[in-house]
Structure 1
Amino acid sequence: MDRRAFLAFASLIPVLSACGGGGNDSPSTGSSGGTGSPVEPVPVGRHAFSFATNSNDFLIDGQSFQIRSGEMHPARIPVEYWQHRIQMAKAMGLNTISIYIIWNYHESSPGVFDFSTENRDIESFIRLCQSEGLWVLVRPGPYVCAEWDLGGIPSYLLAYPDIKLRTDSVSDPRYMAAVRRYIAELAPRIAPLMASNGGPILMLQVENEFGSFDSNAVYIEEIRQCWLQNGIAGPFYTEDGIAELMHSRSNVAGGAIALSNGSSSAISTSRSHFAAVPAMAGEVYTGWFSHWGDAELGGSTADISSELASFMQRKQSFNLYMVHGGTSFGFFAGANLEIGTGQYQPDITSYDYFAPISEQGAATAKFLTYRNLIASHLSTPPAAAPALPGTLTLTGASAPLPTLYASIWDNLPSALPASQTIAPLPFEMFGQSFGFALYRRTLGSSGAEKMKVTELHDYATIFLAGQYAGALSRPAVPVGYTRDYAAVTPGTDMTLPAVPSNALLEILVEGMGRVNYGTDMIDRKGITQSVSLTDSMGQTSQLQGWEIVPLPMDESFIANLKSVCTNPAKSGLFFKVSFNLTETGDTFLDMSQWTKGVVWVNGRNLGRYWKIGPQTRLYCPAPWLRAGINDIIIFDLHQLAAAPIPLVGRPDA
């Protein structure tokens, strides 16, 4: 089954009362007694994790061990909530946490790494798991997918026009040189945390779902060698669907096998063909994700109770993807290309995934169902669920009221040198990873009637002589989606209004998520090919000589906005509100009355919103608010300074 096929995405369920249970699933030495699971040593001290040679068992210090894992991604969780989410997984009866380490979240430009600030301190997350008595599976890529921008691969590699990704050093030495640099930086942080060195890490995954991309055993082995050369000798494992594994033989030498959309029967199939190593259900999907423009978030129909019961009865190892999804804050949400049509489908900001633990960290109905099921097979009940962090309601008089603050047109940084911009360039060619860019030039007396932006990536608002002329959208937009500003045209072609002589053409382009799955991952942002005009006689000409203004919209840019707006009738406006809080709490900001843009709270990027839905609210975690004065800034591509819109905030319900 293709991992990116659509599944329903269910509405969030109010937090349940604390799940009962006294005791702790972190086992002690000695006999487990009863009919519960085998002995599971607390991950303190050095331990030997290995594979049984004649069975499907994983072993810790020679004893059979069932991996009961739940996936969560530190990059999607505020660091202040790491321990809470880990404790929630433990309370569901799990004994292991699986994590992606996302390369481009830690290396933003070549050789510039960050493994220390905020939720990038991976070592601290892994130690927190150990402090809670949980083991860890580490999935460091270099490719992770994860509905994350470019599947976690740094976009700076796309500055090479002919780059090849996810391939060996003979096919593209530039890619593998970057991979080696990443692994060399990461390995010394991981090595002390391996179980053999007294840490909680049981296994390290080599690449991710490579069988869905290619068949290249040389590449898989080259990555394994990178880890060996940097002091990590395994144990290793790979992840793939059973069909892809059988077709591409994408397993790593001597490594265990984890199966996407894994099931008891798939484990048996894997064992019959790869008898030397154990197999586990590496991704058991608890829900699914959504794209902008989907008809709805979906329903909570995904129920893995039957499969989970089978795993527990047979003592087979599994990993729930996701046990807690979290949020793709900032510009990190990825995208897909629809199979068959190639339609670009950017992912929404929320990565709630309809997981057992909601985006806010609440226990859902699934949580209680799965907890009870797992607990019925354990000799001691799981620990009680920790209390849900406090919540915040902003309605009525307490709802912040953003007002016009600034215009992007009065905050433009310097343009690129003209010598670089004969043709329109994508973001990556001028060193920009995320955000927006402005492409502009004077048209003269062209008599143009139509314009075509070839390979627009991904959304553009068009202005002629300072007047809004319309928008183009690479993502599909609902039929009749116009709002009150002008039509948004799906695709790349638009009919122009009458073009005044010497009119300035301005194209403000938003780069949305890069494609994170499949064979077409080279997904540069901005105008990636050309702009052409067609006149009334049908004559077409390409425009050259562009002025390009990079607009990464990073924290520094937002912090230095000038409160200037000389033309409030020209869309591309910032709105701001400062408001006082006596206490903080988690809330969800309702963006349903806004059109398309980005929200920053106290300088932190909550992510994208878009009126086409299906997501209409953005999660704002309590740690990003503060007692006292708080600032919210909204950049909207279309909204004008009409009557202020109250910014309602409600706890998830």
Structure 2
Amino acid sequence: MFWQAAGTLKQLHTGMKKVAFLIFFFISCIAGHAQGSRHIFSLGKSDFLMDGKPFQIISGELHPARIPKEYWKHRIQMTKAMGCNTIAVYVMWNDLETAPGKFDFKTGNHDIAAFIRLCKEEGMWVLLRPGPYVCAEWDFGGLPASLLKIPDLKIRCRDPRYMAAVTGYVQHLSAEVASLQCTNGGPIVMVQVENEYGSYGNDKEYLETLRNLWIKNGIRVPFYTADGPTPYMLEAGNIKGAAIGMDSGGDQHAFDEAKKWNPDVPAFSSETYPGWLTHWGEKWAQPDSAGIKKELEFLLSHKKSFNLYVIHGGTNFGFTAGANAFSPTQYQPDVTSYDYDAPINEQGLPTPKYFMLRNLIKKYVAYTIPEPPAAIPTITIPEISMKAYSSIWQNLGQPVHSPQPVPMEALDQNQGLLLYRTKLIGHKSGTLKIWEPHDYALVFLNGKFIDTVYRDGGKWEVKLPKTDVADPQLDILVEGMGHINFAQFMIDRKGITDRVTLNGMTLMNWDIYKAPLDASYIKNLNPSAGTTYDGKATFFKGSFSLDQTGDTYFDLSGYKKGVVYVNGHNLGRYWYIGPQYRLYCPASWLKKGQNEILVLDLLQNNPANISTAASLY
């Protein structure tokens, strides 16, 4: 009887275990359905491993901040249709922290988590490139320009003030993306630590601090670094246990260098360049396709992982374009378009380079490559009549008084214009020098335009003529054109960064007027058709009606230098020195019925009609 009772209990226990198992299995299925299949991505000695099996990363880079949210899915599908299985995602810190301590992860194209989920829906893996420094030809390399309010700030190192800001960023971004790691059913397989640090510094404890910050905030996937494939860059930029990314790694020599540095982790080409960037005043960068074809043939035939930087660049809308400088007096601002001569052009269309690379990738991969999605429709608009509307001079507001000029960031302004005004006492004519103009200045004496001063080249002097005015008024209107985003001169404040001298005498007692040219400033413009100050810094306005919307380019070749707004959206900068004369406007920023275009031109005296086109050039 005892054994019979024992047997009955055993059967009951077994039955309960089965029920418990079924409940657990059911819950797991629900969780698995909600989160997607979980995967383990790991670093082998020479290969990346997905669930223990070798995995080749074939990646194309997209930047959500440069693409209207409405087109995210289209650009992801275009990337997949070229043969990629992964998307590299740069995250721009300063696009998300809109003011110190205030983060926006929801409006417009700030929803990074939504972009990553779209990648998952389209069957794409993700390489996350969160910085905090990214370079990317983006303003200040992604760092918040508000940091420059700290007079003796040191960046990309363990300066406690810098690291306090970095810690806040890592905490907020991790909260958005940690659940999207492949170990949780998401698409993120690796996270980059900093960016090309071996080209900048050698504080490996700083890099370890960054990695530990991500780990502390829930990042569990492997890490990688990205550096040029030279011995000193790899030594200074890579950290133990992180995969070695090379910018770029297009031949065996590069991979051999990586193996010398660390033979126990895989290396890959973290930035393979199908195109290149363009500065104002240059010709459009259009590198020969033979070079990228040769590199990809090597990478594909040797089963090396790689990331195409960029497969689609998008647009530096507003004031997001950065600048380069490789000497104290050099300054090379980037154009508004980030077309980059990429396989997918600025408006999302495939180029001949796209199809060449697609056909090449097809030869080496086992999976089926889908057809590209339909193109986004484009439109052209009948010529738009423009009229003078207002000027900076009618919208100055209240000044800030200062003994010496101070830069924008000291006044909690990161972009736009500053007007510096003073009375000339003592010297009243002669050689005026601005120390230093960041980046483009217009000089006026008693309301009369004298000359411009451009930062690049170090020629910062203007000759002031004699006048009959007892106390002449000097006005210097300074435009910031993008914070430097690379190399050793990134501490780059805007406006007048030190002083102004006249015949060697330091000019004192300034009134400084802010003109940030942001949405609030533009919305509250005081209309005034009258022009002053020789017609410089004038707003021109026009309207146009649409029966249907579509992507288009506004042609500013009739203007000289300034900024364009369509229905309140800042399309970016234009400049007569070229090469860019047309600015991209996505369909989502247009509407059926009446639309408005507003142009601020710093140099143009009279309005010019504006035409449109269906392409960048």
Instruction: Indicate which of 477, 481, 484 corresponds to 1:512.
Output: 481
1:282-431 matches, within 5 Å, as: 282-294=270-282, 296-303=283-290, 304-338=292-326, 342-394=329-381, 398-416=382-400, 418=401, 421-431=402-412
For 1:591 and 1:301, the matched residues in 2 are separated by 29
Query: Is 1:523 paired with 2:488?
Result: no
Does 304-313 or 127-136 show the bigger shift?
A: 304-313
Deviations 1:478-511 (CA, angstroms, capped at 9, x unpaired): xxxxxxxxxxxx7210111223322211111001
Deviations 1:207-248 (CA, angstroms, capped at 9, x unpaired): 000000011111000101111111213311100011165563
Deviations 1:574-612 (CA, angstroms, capped at 9, x unpaired): 001111000111111111121000000110100000000
Deviations 1:304-342 (CA, angstroms, capped at 9, x unpaired): 111111211111100000000111110010001146x85
1:48 aligns to what?
40
Structure number with greater CO (CA < 8 Å, separation at least 6) is 1
Query: Is 1:86 paired with 2:76?
Result: yes
Instruction: Indicate which of 547, 567, 572 corresponds to 2:531.
Output: 567
2:263 aligns to what?
275
Query: Is 1:555 paired with 2:522?
Result: no
2:15 aligns to what?
none
Query: Is 1:75 paired with 2:65?
Result: yes
2:610 aligns to what?
646
Residues 466 and 570 in structure 1, CA contact (< 8 A), matched pair in contact too: no
2:96 aligns to what?
106
Query: Is 1:491 paired with 2:459?
Result: yes
Deviations 1:285-304 (CA, angstroms, capped at 9, x unpaired): 1111111111x114341431
For 2:341 and 2:281, the matched residues in 1 are separated by 18
- Tell me the matched-pair count: 579
For 2:186 and 2:160, the matched residues in 1 are separated by 34
1:53-68 matches, within 5 Å, as: 53=45, 56-68=46-58
1:482 aligns to what?
none
- 5+ residue gaps, structure 2, are 1-34
Deviations 1:538-577 (CA, angstroms, capped at 9, x unpaired): xx31111100011111001111112114335431100011
For 1:513 and 1:234, the matched residues in 2 are separated by 34
Instruction: Indicate which of 167, 189, 212 corresponds to 1:225.
Output: 212
1:159 aligns to what?
149
Does 377-386 or 74-83 show the bigger shift?
A: 377-386
Q: Which runs of 4+ in 1 moved over 4 A?
A: 244-247
Q: Which amino acid aligns with 1:400?
A: I
Residues 89 and 128 in structure 2, CA contact (< 8 A), matched pair in contact too: yes
Does 497-506 or 540-549 show the bigger shift?
A: 497-506
Q: Which amino acid aligns with 1:566?
A: G
For 1:401 and 1:542, the matched residues in 2 are separated by 46
CA displacement at 1:201 relative to structure 2: 0.2
1:26 aligns to what?
none
CA displacement at 1:652 relative to structure 2: 4.3
Query: Is 1:438 paired with 2:430?
Result: no
For 2:606 and 2:470, the matched residues in 1 are separated by 29
For 2:521 and 2:256, the matched residues in 1 are separated by 54
Deviations 1:392-448 (CA, angstroms, capped at 9, x unpaired): 112xxx1111111111111112212x2xx1110000111111111110012246332
Instruction: State the TM-score, normalizing by the size of structure 2.
Output: 0.91
Query: Is 1:448 paired with 2:435?
Result: no
Instruction: Indicate which of 576, 591, 596 corresponds to 1:611.
Output: 576
- Closer, same or farther: CA 632–140 of 1 in aligned 2, 3 Å: same
CA displacement at 1:646 relative to structure 2: 3.1
For 2:579 and 2:465, the matched residues in 1 are separated by 32
2:20 aligns to what?
none
Does 348-357 or 373-382 show the bigger shift?
A: 373-382
Does 272-281 or 261-270 show the bigger shift?
A: 261-270
Residues 337 and 344 in structure 1, CA contact (< 8 A), matched pair in contact too: yes
- Structure with more helix by fraction: 2
1:593 aligns to what?
558
Instruction: Indicate which of 122, 141, 149 corresponds to 2:112.
Output: 122
Which SS does the other structure have where 2:451 is aligned?
strand
Does 583-592 or 190-199 show the bigger shift?
A: 583-592
CA displacement at 1:44 relative to structure 2: 3.6
Which SS does the other structure have where 1:249 is aligned?
helix
Percentage identity across paired residues of the two chains: 48
1:12-31 matches, within 5 Å, as: none
Instruction: Indicate which of 417, 421, 439 corresponds to 1:458.
Output: 439
RMSD (Å) for aligned C-alpha atoms: 1.5
Q: Which amino acid aligns with 1:122?
A: I
Which SS does the other structure have where 1:123 is aligned?
helix
Instruction: State the TM-score, normalizing by the size of structure 1.
Output: 0.86
